[in-house]
Structure 1
Amino acid sequence: MKNYLPTKCFLILMGVLMLSIAVTGQEGYRVTVKINGNSDTALLLTCYYGSKIKLVDTATLVSKGTFVFEGKSQLPGGIYMAVTPDKKKLFEFLIGKNQVFKLETDTVDYAVHMKTKGSDENQVFYDYLKFNELNYQQNKVIMTRLKEVEDSTIRYKELRDQLDSLNKRSIGYKMEVIANHPDLFVSTLFNAMRDVEVPDSVLHGSDSSQAFKYYKRHYWDHFDLSDSSLLRTPLIVNKLDQYFERAVFLHPDSVVVAIDDVISRVRPSYEMVSYLVWHFMSEYQNPKYMGFDNIFVHLVDQYFSKEAIQNTSPSVLTMLTDRVNVIRPLLLGKQAPNLILVDTSGQLRSLYTLRHAYNLVLFWDYDCGICKREIADLEKIYNQKTYDLEIFSVCVNGDLDKWKKSIGDRHMPWINVNGTRSATPDFHDLYDIHGTPVIYLLDQEMKIIAKRISADQIPGLIDNMAQTKK
C-alpha cells in the first residue's frame, strides 16, 4: 500500500496557506448594507470629494432591505454615504483599511440603531455618533433652560458650566479614541477636527502678535494634509478656507507663499497636490481683489507648467498658458504696453510720450451707457486739476465721425485716440479688453498702479500712493 499521508498533509497545508493569503491579502471591497423597513430597489454609494459629492457605486436589491456594494479594487479611504436613488442621504460610514464588512440599521433612526460587523472602524465611529447624540440632546435641554434665566444669576453660571462640561466630555471622548485606535481612519478624522489651542501664556502675553503667530505656526499640526483620505471628508475645504481667512494676510504675495507652503505639506500625495492646485485655481482665476491675478499666473507657472496635474489635458494646459501670457504683462507693477493710435486730427499719438505723475488709459464705447457715466465722473476729476493727471482715451469703435461727435457731446478735454487706427498691436490683446469701460491707472514710468477700476476710486488710489511715497 502506498504511503499517501505526506501528500495529503501537504495538500491540507497548501489549502490553509491559500486561505491565509486570501484573507490577509484580500483585494477589493464588499460592503453589505441591510436597512430594515427600506423599500427601495437600489442604493447608491457616494463619498465626499472636497466640497462636492461623488457617485462611487450602485447596488441593486439582493434580498428584502439588503444591498451589496462590491468591487475588485479597494476604495480610497474617507467618509462614504448610503443614498437613495432620489438622492436622499440615509447615513454615513467610514472606509478604511478593512473593506469587507456589514452594516445593519433601520429607517426609524439610521445612526442610533446601526449595528456593524467586521469593521472596527465603523464600530468606533458609530459608538461616537451615539455618544454624540446623547450629548446633543443634553445640550438642547440646557440651551432651553438658559433662555429662561437672567445672564447675571447663579443659575445661569451653573448652566454655562454644564455646557462647558459637555463640550469637554466630547473632546475627551475623541482624544481617547485617538489614543486607543491610532491606526484607524476615525482617529485621523478626529485629529483633523481639532482646533488650535493657543496657550494662555501666549494668548495673554505682552506681545499680542504672538498669539497670531502661534495659531498660524500650529494650524496644521493635527491635520495630515498628505493623507488623501481627508479629501473624502467635508473637512478639507472648511479647513483651507479658515486658514486663508484667519492666518494669511490679504495680499497676493502672502497668499502665494501660503499656497506654496500648503502644497508642500501634501507631498508626495499626487491626488492631494492636484486637488489643491485646482482648488486654488478656482479661487483665483477670477479674483475678487485687484492684483490677485498674480496668483493665477503663479499657479500656472509653478505647477501646471512644471508637473502633471490631474484633469489637465494638453488643450486645457494650452488654454491656461495662453491666458497667463495675456495677463502677465498686465500685472500690477509691470510697465503698461505702449499704444500708438490716431487722434482726432489724424496724427499718431503714443501713450509713452505722456510725462505726468499719473496717466490714465480709458477704453470706451460711444454706445455704452456705463461709459457715459464714467466719462462724466472722469471729467470732474480732470477739471479739478487736483492731481498731475492726463487721460489717454481709447475709443473702441471704428466710425470716426460718430467718435468725434461723441467726444464733443461728452465734453472730453483730454487726449482722444481711436483704437481701430493703430501702429501697435491690437489693443484688445495688449490690454485684455473684452468689454467697456476699462480703466488702467499708470504712474510716471508707465507702470500699472491699478486696473479695471471705476472713476470714483481714482482720487483715493492717488491719495494713498502719495501717502506711501512720503
Structure 2
Amino acid sequence: MRRLFLLLIATLLGHWTLQAQGYHISVKLKNFTGGRFFLAHYMGKSTYLADSADVNPAGEVVLQGKEKLLPGIYLLVLPGKQQYVETLIDKQQVFSVALDTSDLVNKTVYKGSPDNDSFLEYNKFLFQQETLSRSIQQQLQAARTAADSAKAQPLQQELGKKIQVFRSEFITKHPGTILSTIFLAMKEPEVPQAPAGADSLFAYHYFKNHYWDEVDLQSDRLVRTPILEGKLKKYFTQLVPLHPDSIIVDCDAMIARTRKSKEVFKFVLWWLTYNYESSPYMGMDAVFVHLVEKYYVPGEAFWMNDEQLNKIVDRAYTMAPNLIGKQAAPLEYKDTASKPLSLYKTAAKFTVLVFWDPTCGHCKTEIPRLDSAWNASWKSKGVAMIGVKTEGTREEWLQFIREHHLKGWVHGSDPQSATNYRRLYDVYSTPMVYLLDEKKKIVAKRLGVEQLQEFLDRITPKDTVSKL
C-alpha cells in the first residue's frame, strides 16, 4: 500500500511539474499511420516552427517540452503540411486533441483545454457565418438590378454585427481569458458624437487617442498572434502623419506602452525598426536611425548578440550623415581632365548629385533620362548636375559621357575613395541620387526622374530664372 501511495504521489508530482514547467500536447489523428506532425506559432503574420514529432502507427503523436510555450495562437500542422488547425496556448499547456481531416472544424475535440473549447465554439460559429456570407455573395453576383443588390447588402452587414455581438458577449462571460484578450484587441474605438464646438478632426483624434485602449500590451499573449502586427500596421500607416518627426514621437510612445512585457517590447521595437529601415518612403531612414540610437546603442535589444547588434548600429551610423535636412558631406573629386574639384565650389540654386557606374545596366537607362530632364526643365530652375563615377574604368566613363552627350554636367571621380563617399552618402547601389539646396543641404534623395520632376515643380516657382 505504501509503495502504491508513493507511486501515486510521484505520478501526481510528475504531472504537476509538467503542467508548471513544460507542455504536453497529445494528438490523435484519424486516417494517419505515420508522417511528421508540426507545431508552429505566429510571430506577427508570419509563422515559425515550434516543435515536431513523428506520428505512430496508431495515428498518435505527442508534442512535449520542458519549458512552457509562450502564449498565443499556434498551428497544429498535419503530415504533408496541407492542413492545419489553429489552437490556443496559454496557461494550460497539458491537453489532448482529436483531429478528423474530413471536417477539421466540426469534428475536432479537445480534452483538458477550456480555452480551446471556447476557440472551437467560435470557429464553428464563424464557419456558419461564412457559409451564409458565401450565399449572400452569390446573391450579389447574381443580382441583376441595383434594387437586388440593395436587398443583399444589409444582410452582409448583419452578419458582421453578429460576429461583433458574439465577441462582446464572450468577453463579458469570460474576462481574463486569452480569447477575450484577442477579441478586445480586435475591437476598434467607437467614436462618440462630437461635442459642440469641436473641430473637424475630432473623430480622427478620438480614434487615434483611444486606438490602444483595449489592446493588452502588458502581457505576452498577443505577440504570437497576427493581431498585434495588424494593429501596428494600421496605426502607423493610417493614423500617424507620414513625417519622420511625427513618427518618431509615436514610436517612442508606442514603445513606452510595452515596458511591462519583454516579449511585446521586443516585437514592437523589432517591427518598427524593420518597417522604417526598409520603408519605400523618402526620409523614413531618420526614424530608423533614431530607434537605433535610442534603444539599440544603449543595449536595450537584449535578444541580439554582439555581431547582430554591431551590424544594425553600423547601418544606422552609415545612414546618419545623409539624412534629409543634414548638410551634405564635403566631397572632393577630379574632373575628366584630372583637375581637382569640390562639391561646395559648384554654386547653384539646387544640385542633383548622382553617384553612377557606366557599366551598370540601370545607370545606362537612368543617366540619359536625368540628362534629358535637366536640359528640358531643371536647368531653367537653377539646377546643376554633378555626376560621380563609382565603378568602371576611366575609358568606359569617358566613352559613356561622349556617347550620351552629357554636356553641362560636372563630371568627377574619386578612384581612391579618399573622401569615403560610399559611407558618407550610403552608396550601396547605383544610381544613387541626391537633391541639394543652395547651401548644399540634403532636401531629397533616392528619387527617380519623375519623382525629382514633381519635387522640383513643387519647391520652385514656374518663372524661376536659371542662375547658371
| Cross-structure match for 1:119 | 113
What SS is found at the alignment partner of 1:109? coil
Q: Which residue of 2 aligns with 1:413?
A: 408
Question: Which structure would you say has the larger Rg?
Answer: 1
Partner of 1:262: 254
Contact 1:364 1:393 in 2 (8 A): yes
Corresponding position: 1:461 with 2:455: yes
Q: Is the 8 A contact 2:386 2:410 kept in 1?
A: yes
Shift of 1:402: 5.8
**Cα contact 1:398–1:420 (8 A) shared by 2:** no
Assess, with a 3 A threshold, how the Cα gap between structure 1 residues 204 and 133 changes in structure 2: closer, same or farther: farther
Within the candidate set 190, 195, 199, 2:188 is matched to 195
Contact 2:362 2:431 in 1 (8 A): yes
1:82 is aligned to: 76
Q: Which residue of 2 aligns with 1:110?
A: 104
Which digits, 9 at most, give the CA deviation of each residue in 1:337-362, with x for residues without a partner? 11222234443222212332112323
Q: How many residues align?
A: 456
Does the Cα contact within 8 Å between 2:97 and 2:109 map onto a contact in 1? yes
CA deviations 1:307-344 (Å, max 9, x no partner) are 34254221122222222222111111111111222234
Indicate the residue corresponding to 1:53 in structure 2: 47
Shift of residue 211 of structure 1?
1.6
Deviation at 1:98, TM superposition (A): 1.5
Residue pairs, 1:316-465, within 5 angstroms: 316-368=308-360, 370-383=362-375, 385-396=379-390, 400=394, 403-404=397-398, 406-409=400-403, 410-420=405-415, 424-465=418-459
CA distance, structure 1, for counterparts of residue 146 and residue 356 of structure 2:
63
Q: Alpha-carbon deviation of 1:188? A: 0.9
Instruction: Find the aligned partners of 2:246 and 2:424 in 1 and give their Cα distance.
Output: 28
d(CA) in 2 for partners of 1:411, 1:246: 43
For residue 32 of structure 2, what is the aligned residue in structure 1? 38
- Secondary structure, aligned partner of 1:82: strand
Normalised by the length of structure 1, the TM-score is 0.85
1:71 corresponds in structure 2 to 65
Match among 171, 176, 197 for residue 178 of structure 1: 171
* Separation in 2, partners of 1:168, 1:405: 69
Counterpart contact for 2:357–2:392, Cα < 8 Å? no
Report if the CA contact (8 A) 2:359-2:396 is conserved. Answer: no
Distance in 2 separating the partners of 1:63 and 1:411: 75
How far 1:276 moved relative to its partner? 2.2
* Compared CA separation, residues 419 and 176, structure 1 to 2 (3 A): same
Tell me the distance in 2 between the aligned counterparts of 1:111 and 1:439. 55
How far is the alpha carbon of 1:73 from its aligned partner? 2.2
Instruction: Give 3-state SS (helix, strand or coil) of 1:386's partner.
Output: helix
AA of the residue aligned to 1:417: G
* 1:240 maps to which of 216, 232, 250: 232
Contact 1:335 1:446 in 2 (8 A): yes
| Distance of 2:392 and 2:54 partners within structure 1 | 65
Taking the aligned partners of 2:424 and 2:208, their CA distance within structure 1 comes to: 40
Structure 1: gaps spanning 5 or more residues: 1-7
Distance (Å, rounded) in 1 between the aligned partners of 2:331 and 2:48: 50
Name the structure 2 match of 1:5: none
Residue identity opposite 2:263 in structure 1: E
Check whether the contact 2:351–2:440 (CA below 8 A) recurs between aligned residues.
yes
- Pairwise CA distance, 1:162: 4.0
Counterpart of 2:277 (choices 264, 273, 285) is 285
The range that moved more, 213-222 or 404-413, is 404-413
Q: Higher mean Cα deviation, 170-179 or 409-418?
A: 409-418
Question: Match of 1:228?
Answer: 220
- TM-score for the superposition, normalised by structure 2: 0.85
> Matched residues, percent identical?
34
RMSD (Å) for aligned C-alpha atoms: 3.4
Do the aligned partners of 1:397 and 1:419 also contact (CA within 8 Å) in 2?
Answer: no
CA distance in 2, matches of 1:86, 1:285: 36
Name the CA shift for 1:442/1:120 in 2 (closer, same or farther; >3 Å).
Answer: same
Q: By how many angstroms is 1:205 displaced?
A: 9.4
CA distance in structure 1 between the partners assigned to 2:393 and 2:53 by the alignment = 66
User: What SS is found at the alignment partner of 2:96?
Assistant: strand
Deviation at residue 277 of structure 1 after TM alignment: 2.2
